[in-house]
Chains A and B, each alone.
Chain A
Amino acid sequence: MRVADWVFGLILLIGAGLILREASGFAEMPGQDYGPALLPSIVAVGFAICGLVLVASGLRARAPALALDPQARAPGRLPDAALTIGAVVFTMLVWDVLGFIIVSTIVLTLLCARFWGGRIIPALLVGVIGSLVIDWLFRKMLLVPLPLGPFAGWIW
C-alpha cells in the first residue's frame, strides 16, 4: 500500500510537536544542562526536519495520499488484511475469557478457511491440531502460563 511521502511528513511533524510538548514537562537534572528531555528533544527536532523534507519532496512528486498496488487490489485482499489484524485484536479481547485453546482454534480455523478457499473441514483440523500443538509446546514444555479458560485443571 503506497502512502505519499507528504503524509509521512505530516505524521512526523505532528509527532515532533507531541514529543516536544511532553518533553518540556520532564524534570531537569540538578546542576546539568542535559537531562531526560535531551534525547526526546533531539528526536523531535530530527522528526521535524525530516518531516519538512518529506512534505516538500512529496508535494513535488504529486502522488495521491494513498494508493494500492495492483496485487493488493485483487478482490478479497483488503478484507483479508483486515481479517488478519482483526484476528489479533479478537484474540486479545477474549484471551482470558475463552482461554488459549478455544481462541486459537477459532482464529486458526477462520483464517485457514478464508485463505485456503473455504475448505472448512481441513481448516478445522488445522485449527484444532495446531492449537493443541502450540498449547503443548508453550504451556507444557516452555511453561508459559497461557490462559486455560474453561479447561482449568484439564489436559497435559
Chain B
Amino acid sequence: MDPLLQAFWLVFDPYNLMVMTLAGLFGMFVGAMPGLTATMATALLVPVTFFMAPVPAVAAIVTATAMAIFAGDIPGALIRIPGTPASAAYVADSYKLAQKGQAELVLGCCLVFSAIGGIFGSLVLALAAPALAEVSLSFSSFEFFWIAVFGLTCAIFISTGSPIKGVVSVLLGLFLATVGIDPTAGQPRFNMGSVELMGGVSFIPVMIGMFAISELLRWVLGSRKLEALQKRELGSVFRGQWALFLKYKWNTARSAVIGVVIGFLPGAGSDIAAWVTYAISKKFSKEPEKFGTGHIEGIVDAGTANNSSLSGAWVPALVFGIPGDSITAIVIGVLYMKGLNPGPTLMLNQPEMLYAIFIVFMFANIVMLPLGWVAIKLFRYVLNVPREVLMPLILMACIVGSFAINNSLFGVGIMLVLGIVAYFMEENGFPIAPAILGLVLGELIESSFITSMMKANGSFLAFFERPISAALGVLVVAAWIWLIWSAVRARPALVSEEEAPV
C-alpha cells in the first residue's frame, strides 16, 4: 500500500481519534490551568503513551501540546495569569483588551492565529523534514558530532539569563548522560554500585521531576492566589477574525516563519518565539506606542509564532534526533521507546510513520478550532477546580508515572531528586532546558566523537575534512568565540554597576 494512504489509515483509526480527543481535552485543561505548563502536560502524558502504539502515542503528545499552548492564552486574557510561559509575552495586552470588553475578539484571535501558526508549522515540517532527511543521509559520525554540539551551543546561547548558568545546566545534563555503562568500552560509570544505575538514568523520571515536581514545589512555596474572574457571558469568538487576518496578514506570515525558525533551534521553544515576535512586531508596527496598553497586533504576532514554533521544533527532532525544545526532548525519548529511532533512516524505513506524524500535526491544529471554542466556554469551570486538590493528584500521578517506566521505585527516587535540583536551579536563574538537551545528546556526542576518532586514527583535523562537517565545525567554533567574547566584555559593566552606589 502507498505509505501516504497507510498513514491516513493510521491517523483516522477510531482508537487514534479517541486518543487525540482525550489528549486535546487534557491539553486544554492543563494549559488553561495557571501554573501547569505544556511541557508538564507532555511529561504527565508520557507514562500513558508508553502503553500505546506509536502513532496514537505521538498523536496524543502533539494534540495535547498544541492545545495547551493555545489554552494558556485564556487565563492570560481573563485573569491576567498566563496559563503557560508561552503566553506571557502578550498577557498585558490581552488582559487589557478583555477589560475593555473585547474578550471575544482577543480569545478568538488567540485561537484562530494559533491554528494558523500551527498549520503553517505543520506544512513546513511536512516539506522540510523529508528534504533535510535526504541531505542528512550522507552524514557520518563527524557531522552528527558537530550537529549535537551545535545543539548544545544553541541551548546555551538562547537560554535567558547568564550564559555561565546555561553552561552549568548543559554540563549537568551531560554528566547525567554519562551515568551507566559507557557506550564504547562497556565501562560502568558513576553507578555507585547500583545495578539500576548501570542502565543509565532513565529519561522519563528525569523529565517528570524537572518539569512537574519542580513546578509543584514552586506552587507550594508560591503565593497560590488567583485573581477573580469577571462573570460575563462570552459571545461569538470567531466574529471579526477575518478582518483581523486581512489587516495583519503580513504580521501573521512573518511571525509564522520566525516561529518555525526559532522552533528549529535547539533549546528555544514557543515561549522564546512569542517574546521575539512580540518585540519584532512592536519594532515594525505603525503604532508601537499602543503595545502593552491593550493592542491586538502583538497578540496576532506572538500567538501565531508560539504555535508555529511547536511544529518547527519537530524538524530537527525527527531528522537528526536533536530536540528543538523541551517538549520534543521528551518526544525523542518516547520515539526511542517505540522503536522509531529518530534520524534520517526513519524516512527510509518507516515513511508511513513520518507521514502519519505530519497528518496528525495538521489535523490537531484544525481540531483546535472547535476544541478551543469549547475550552473558552468551559474555562470558568476549569478555574473552579481547586488547585489545592489538583496538586496532590498531580503529585501522585507523577509518582505512578515514574514508577511505571521500569516498574521500579528507583525512578521515583530519581524524579524526586531531580525535581528538587530543578526547583533550586530555576529559582536561581539556571535554565532547565539545556540540561535536558545535554541528557538527550550526551550519548550521541560521546559515541560519535569516539567513533570519529577511531576512523581518523586520533587526528582531530578529520573533523574539518568533510565539507559539511567543516562548515558546521566552523559555525560551532565561531559561536563559542562569540559567546566567550561577549561574556568577557560584559564583565566590567557588571562590576561597575555594583560599585556605582558606593
Provide the bound-state CA to CA distance between A10 and B419, in Å: 21
A97 partner residues in chain B, CB cutoff 8 A: none
Give the distance to chain B from A31, nearest Cβ to Cβ, in Å. 9
**Bound-state Cα–Cα, A85 to B399, Å:** 12
A84 and B413 alpha carbons, distance in the complex (Å): 14
In the complex, A12→B445 CA distance in Å?
Answer: 22
Q: Which B-chain residue is minimally distant from A125 (CB atoms)?
A: B389
Whether A112 is near chain B, meaning CB under 8 Å from some CB there, is yes
Q: Is the CB of B168 within 8 A of A40?
A: no
Q: A138 near B: Cβ within 8 Å?
A: yes
| Contact-residue bracket for chain A | 35 or more
Please tell me if A19 contacts chain B, counting CB pairs below 8 Å: yes
A153 at the interface (CB under 8 A from B): no
Would B416 and A88 count as touching, CB distance under 8 A? yes
CA distance A95 to B402 in the complex (A): 13
A36 to B450, CA, bound (A): 9
Q: Is A120 an interface residue (CB 8 A)?
A: no
Chain A residues near B187: list those with CB within 8 A: 26-27, 35-36
The stretch from B34-42, B215-223, B248-256, B472-480 touching chain A is B215-223
The answer to whether B178 and A43 touch across the interface, beta carbons within 8 angstroms, is yes
Known contacts A72-B221, A142-B51, A145-B407; A33/B458 CB under 8 A? yes
At the interface, yes or no: B17 with Cβ under 8 Å from chain A? no
Q: Verify B217–A81 contact, CB threshold 8 A.
A: yes
Whether a CB of chain B sits under 8 angstroms from the CB of A61 is yes
| A118 vs B164: C-alpha distance when bound (angstroms) | 44
Q: Residue-by-residue, is B191-230 near A (CB-CB < 8 Å gives 1, otherwise 0)?
A: 0000000000000000000000100110011110000000
Q: In chain A, what residue has the closest Cβ to B424?
A: A3
Q: Which residue of B182, B185, B399 contacts A91 across the interface (Cβ within 8 Å)?
A: B399
Contact residue among A5, A23, A92, A107 (Cβ-Cβ distance under 8 Å from B409): A92
Partner of A38, one of B50, B388, B391, B450: B450
Cβ–Cβ contact A85 & B51, under 8 A = no
Contact flags A87-131 to B (C-beta < 8 A → 1, else 0): 111011001000010001001100110011100000000100011
A38–B395 contact, CB under 8 A? no
Complex Cα distance A32/B167, Å? Answer: 28
- List of A residues within 8 angstroms of B450 by Cβ: 29, 32, 34-35, 38
Which residues of B are found within 8 Å of A80, using beta-carbon distances? 220-221
B174 within 8 A of A: yes
Which A residues touch B409, using CB under 8 A?
92, 95
Tell me whether A107 and B190 are in contact (CB under 8 A).
no
Closest to B175 in A: A43
The complex places the Cα of A27 from the Cα of B44 at a distance, in Å, of 39
Nearest Cβ in chain B — how far from A61, in angstroms?
7
B400→A134 contact, CB < 8 A: yes
A126 touches B178 (CB 8 A): no
Using C-beta atoms within 8 Å of the partner chain, give the interface range for chain B.
Answer: 35 or more
Of all chain A residues, the one with the shortest Cβ separation from B397 is A134
Residues of A within 8 A of B453 (CB): 32-34
Chain B interface SS verdict (over half): helix
Partner of B404, one of A26, A117, A144: A144
Instruction: State A12–B395 Cα separation when bound (angstroms).
Output: 29
Q: DSSP class of A's interface residues: helix, strand, loop or mixed?
A: helix
Task: Find the A residue at minimum CB distance from B443.
Answer: A39
**Whole-angstrom CA separation of A72 from B164 in the bound complex:** 27
Which of the residues B174, B184, B495 comes within 8 Å of A60, measured between beta carbons? B495
Chain A residues lying within 8 Å of B76, measured Cβ to Cβ, are: none
A155 CB → nearest B CB, Å: 16
B247 at the interface (CB under 8 A from A): no
B396 touches A (CB below 8 Å) = yes
For the complex, is B3 an interface residue (Cβ under 8 Å from A)?
Answer: no
Query: Contact at A57–B494, with CB atoms within 8 Å?
Result: yes
Chain B residues whose CB sits within 8 angstroms of the CB of A142 once the complex forms:
47-48, 50-51, 404
Q: Smallest Cβ distance from A122 to chain B, in angstroms?
A: 8
Q: Name A's B-contacting residues (CB within 8 A).
A: 1-3, 5, 8, 12, 19, 22-23, 26-27, 29, 32-36, 38-40, 42-43, 46-47, 50, 53-54, 57, 60-61, 69, 71-72, 74, 77-78, 80-81, 84-85, 87-89, 91-92, 95, 100, 104, 107-108, 111-112, 115-117, 126, 130-131, 134, 137-138, 142-146
- List 20 additional A-B contacts (Cβ < 8 Å) besides A34-B458, A42-B174: A8-B168, A29-B184, A34-B450, A36-B182, A38-B449, A39-B442, A40-B178, A43-B171, A53-B164, A57-B494, A61-B498, A69-B427, A71-B223, A85-B217, A92-B409, A92-B416, A111-B391, A116-B386, A116-B389, A146-B403
Jot down 17 A-B pairs with beta carbons below 8 A, ordered by A.
A3-B427, A8-B428, A27-B187, A32-B453, A50-B171, A77-B220, A77-B221, A85-B420, A88-B213, A88-B399, A88-B412, A88-B415, A100-B400, A112-B389, A115-B392, A117-B388, A146-B403
Q: What 6 pairs across the A-B complex have the smallest Cβ distances?
A: A111-B392, A115-B388, A36-B187, A36-B182, A116-B388, A72-B221
